[in-house]
Structure 1
């Protein structure tokens, strides 16, 4: 019986049983290959991401170290440590990172580069390739700014104020120091009330202007003043301070005095120690140099001295002579800086005895017309002398009226519960802040005394504030120390003479108005020390 070949092939051609297995067999290499490649690509991506993050962090750490003089020599070590800290999956599989200096954006040695690679056989492609897969990552980081902190003598600390500092009227400010507003407003500092300088009759000699936000276009008239806007990292230098207390109750000033009160007269005896110091100053530019070190030169000399003065004796330091060194520019590019070395001789007075020539007898340095303590308001309507110490004004107004005088060396005024300050034109004012020694003598612990030294008027940060704060000064206004009103605005409408200590003005907002001249706020040989910027440089990745 013969086989029907034609029928067999017809049946075979029309049969579809088992076709799926054939298709799977044909597609299996593609499926396995695709899965293998997916695994390899995923692993490669993990390596790439981790090694890139590691070199990024290493470059930032190296740049931070190199931009700070104290760590500059260790920048390679710092970068290597940071790289190792950020290895996980790639740990043990990377090459030793290459760390070095680079020239960035026209500068010289102003960036840190870090390059590293990962080399390892991938699970799938390693079957076919004789060499392992490699991933290389590079990062550059540079820094901006400088190691030298910026200081200021006029500081507005309200970060949310629409206008933090106003320069208006026919004001002439020739302080030569920095002006800073922490406000992030686009008009944090305005000139002439709104920037319209068509009738500008003012004159300003300022060291520099810093703003956490922007400044009004009117400040373009200050051609010679460096202005930096949108500064990150501005700080309130007094934010962490806590005012001291003196709960001893005191009567209101002048209630027992009249115009026939005799002038205060004291015979004060002192031990005076004369010391010469070599003081090194450094800064990014001439106007921003701050004292870095103060080293005694030679031996101190001590003498006894008796003086006739208008108040009881007080401990103090007076500058006798200053020989200013040559201001020199060093370095180049972003690493350039200015420095100088001054030779300063000071006398340190320590009171040993004080005699009231009007019959008060032998006293200590705490004797004066008015004593430290807590006052309910402080309205000066007579000529008064203050003993050294802490004066707490608990509510009301600390007001010094025209044609009256107030003298107090080694004093601090603490404003609480909405207390404010008002100094009227024509008043004779000579107030000098406390030294660390005087604060300790007043019962302040040594640690707090060290940071409170120089504070003249201190508004309690927890006070609700007072919107009547006003200083209408004259040539007879001598304020030595820091005026700090963190919760209140301050209006300044008058002159101020140069005391034996720098004057720093810090308030929530500050307005200068009227027709007056505000000259140099520091005596010769001294500079402002209120730091308003952080010491760290601004570090950023550029590659």
Structure 2
């Protein structure tokens, strides 16, 4: 049998007719197999492409959901919804996608990962493997949430390096944020390694790496701006011109007043003799030397006293007058003297009232001033003070004012807070701006709590060590360099600072850099939410 097969094969080998048919017959299994595999591969590729696109879109949708605090919790359902919406040929053969949070580039839970499979029996693959074909796909999208940048200290210089400088001995801390609009590569720097908390540290340029101990660094942020740019101070047109002065201390005059009634009764005594030591006699009407008695009442009339009177009735008398010869001669002379009794009644006392007194405290009124130099305790009355010159807060003088704003109208004048200045001030209210000065509601909303509106002055503003300050409001000085030196003492309220550049050094306390209205500080920009596919 075997020999017969061998002979047949040798004959076929020697034969030259029908070779093509033989080759086709021998290659047919490979041809059929490769054709089937090609069909299945095309199916695999289509599945892979479709579910890969679906998981990509699902990951992006989940990441967008996570990027917003309002939709963050819905990221799984949102991803699955988007996955299903992008299925066509594989609809019904895919698994429910697995949606999880992952970590990307050092972050925590800042990426959405989606995985899914498509599974179905294919003719050729099933013949070979005996099971369904499974195609898997996965995608990862990272996200960052939108963020509004708010600060309580802002440098608005657009280009300068070191536009915001912090010393290494500063104390306290403020989580209200620090900002710089400078695009310089070292816009915010520190001269040491202070670890006081600053909150968000935001810059259009670079930030020194050591600030990682002080808060969250956001550098090279685009779209930052001065929140008060384009805002103009209220007009001084029609406002009264005034001069600052200190009154002289005086105790004044103290007085009391009361209604007073006076009754006066006068009777007469008579004597006969060569002198007033004669014999007592009675003289009646019609006789020589007679004087009728009198009884008169005056008042009540208002009387002023300079010592406190006692209400009630007092009687003085009877009081004898002087003897007078009124008739006769020799031993028959008639002598007469008056006897007076006075009754005084003091009614309800009013007082004390002090006039002409001064406590020596200056109480300036709002208006237009050429300059203010504090030389006595001073209480600024509510309103706006336009100052074309300088203002000096003096030494060891208590200066206070509530609901006030100082508008510096010059370009090279000073604001002096000295080492022994004692200043308690709070910024102007929105209601005063609109009601008293006619500021529009939109501008008043921005300008509320403004304490200093100093748009054009370029000289340095220094707050020296040991000054006692209790400020509540906004110091808007976009053209000045501000230097806060030494152990400045501050109160319990909040200030915000906008300056061209600033330098906070010494042992200055940052605790009071906070928002006067507790609204989170000045909004200087925002970073929109971002999502990108990374795998």
Task: Give TM-score, length-normalised by structure 2.
Answer: 0.53
Q: Which residue in the other structure is 2:269 paired with?
A: none
Q: Which of these residues, 480, 484, 487, is aligned with residue 492 of structure 1?
A: 484
Determine the C-alpha separation between the residues in 1 that align with 2:515 and 2:445.
23
Determine the C-alpha separation between the residues in 2 that align with 1:508 and 1:232.
18
Q: Which residue in the other structure is 2:173 paired with?
A: 175
Does 1:480 pair with 2:447? no
The SS at the match of 1:518 is: coil
> Residue 531 and residue 427 in structure 1: after superposition, are their counterparts in 2 closer, same or farther (change >3 A)?
closer
> Residue 162 and residue 244 in structure 1: after superposition, are their counterparts in 2 closer, same or farther (change >3 A)?
closer
Determine the C-alpha separation between the residues in 2 that align with 1:441 and 1:388.
13
Q: Is the 8 A contact 2:50 2:90 kept in 1?
A: no
1:278-427 to 2 correspondences below 5 Å: 369-372=364-367, 375=368, 379-382=371-374, 385-391=379-385, 398-400=390-392, 402-403=394-395, 406-414=399-407, 418=411, 422-425=415-418, 426-427=420-421
Determine the C-alpha separation between the residues in 1 that align with 2:78 and 2:141.
14
> Residue 78 and residue 94 in structure 1: after superposition, are their counterparts in 2 closer, same or farther (change >3 A)?
same
> Residue 433 and residue 210 in structure 1: after superposition, are their counterparts in 2 closer, same or farther (change >3 A)?
same
Aligned length: 387
1:444-523 to 2 correspondences below 5 Å: 444-446=439-441, 448-459=443-454, 465-473=456-464, 474-493=466-485, 496-499=488-491, 501-513=493-505, 515=506, 517-518=508-509, 520-521=511-512
Q: For each residue in 1:282-308, what CA deviation from the matched residue of structure 2 results, as whole angstroms up to 9, or x when unmatched?
A: xxxxxxxxxxxxxxxxxxxxxxxxxxx
Q: CA deviation at 1:150?
A: 7.0
The SS at the match of 1:61 is: helix
Determine the C-alpha separation between the residues in 2 that align with 1:481 and 1:211.
22
Larger radius of gyration: 2
Does 1:432 pair with 2:426? yes
Q: For each residue in 1:120-139, what CA deviation from the matched residue of structure 2 results, as whole angstroms up to 9, or x when unmatched?
A: 9xxxxxxxxxx999976432
Q: Is the 8 A contact 1:432 1:479 kept in 2?
A: yes
The SS at the match of 1:410 is: strand
Q: CA deviation at 1:77?
A: 4.5
Determine the C-alpha separation between the residues in 1 that align with 2:96 and 2:385.
61
Determine the C-alpha separation between the residues in 1 that align with 2:405 and 2:158.
26
Q: Which residue in the other structure is 1:59 paired with?
A: 62
Q: Is the 8 A contact 2:67 2:144 kept in 1?
A: no
Determine the C-alpha separation between the residues in 1 that align with 2:430 and 2:393.
30
Determine the C-alpha separation between the residues in 1 that align with 2:357 and 2:237.
25
Determine the C-alpha separation between the residues in 2 that align with 1:524 and 1:53.
43
Determine the C-alpha separation between the residues in 2 that align with 1:359 and 1:118.
97
Determine the C-alpha separation between the residues in 1 that align with 2:100 and 2:187.
39
Determine the C-alpha separation between the residues in 2 that align with 1:96 and 1:431.
67
Does 1:140 pair with 2:140? yes
Q: CA deviation at 1:158?
A: 3.9
Q: CA deviation at 1:409?
A: 1.1
Q: CA deviation at 1:186?
A: 3.5
Determine the C-alpha separation between the residues in 2 that align with 1:204 and 1:495.
17
Q: CA deviation at 1:359?
A: 10
Q: CA deviation at 1:517?
A: 3.3
Q: CA deviation at 1:88?
A: 11
Determine the C-alpha separation between the residues in 2 that align with 1:418 and 1:45.
70
The SS at the match of 2:173 is: coil
Q: Is the 8 A contact 1:51 1:116 kept in 2?
A: no
> Residue 111 and residue 205 in structure 1: after superposition, are their counterparts in 2 closer, same or farther (change >3 A)?
closer
> Residue 242 and residue 496 in structure 1: after superposition, are their counterparts in 2 closer, same or farther (change >3 A)?
farther
The SS at the match of 1:57 is: helix
Q: CA deviation at 1:471?
A: 2.7
1:19-168 to 2 correspondences below 5 Å: 47=50, 50-51=53-54, 53-65=56-68, 68=69, 70-79=70-79, 98=97, 100-104=99-103, 111-115=111-115, 137-143=137-143, 152-158=151-157, 160-168=159-167
Determine the C-alpha separation between the residues in 2 that align with 1:509 and 1:449.
26
> Residue 499 and residue 454 in structure 1: after superposition, are their counterparts in 2 closer, same or farther (change >3 A)?
farther
Q: CA deviation at 1:252?
A: 9.4
Structure 1 residues not aligned, in runs of 5+: 1-32, 121-130, 198-202, 264-356, 361-366
Determine the C-alpha separation between the residues in 1 that align with 2:99 and 2:55.
17
Q: For each residue in 1:317-369, what CA deviation from the matched residue of structure 2 results, as whole angstroms up to 9, or x when unmatched?
A: xxxxxxxxxxxxxxxxxxxxxxxxxxxxxxxxxxxxxxxx9899xxxxxx962
Q: Is the 8 A contact 1:244 1:444 kept in 2?
A: no
Q: For each residue in 1:55-95, what CA deviation from the matched residue of structure 2 results, as whole angstroms up to 9, or x when unmatched?
A: 34213223224xx2x3234334544566688x599898996
Q: For each residue in 1:431-481, what CA deviation from the matched residue of structure 2 results, as whole angstroms up to 9, or x when unmatched?
A: 201234444433345555444432323455xxxx44313032443333211
Determine the C-alpha separation between the residues in 2 that align with 1:107 and 1:186.
25
Q: CA deviation at 1:510?
A: 0.9
> Residue 258 and residue 99 in structure 1: after superposition, are their counterparts in 2 closer, same or farther (change >3 A)?
same
Determine the C-alpha separation between the residues in 2 that align with 1:417 and 1:96.
73
Q: Is the 8 A contact 1:482 1:504 kept in 2?
A: yes
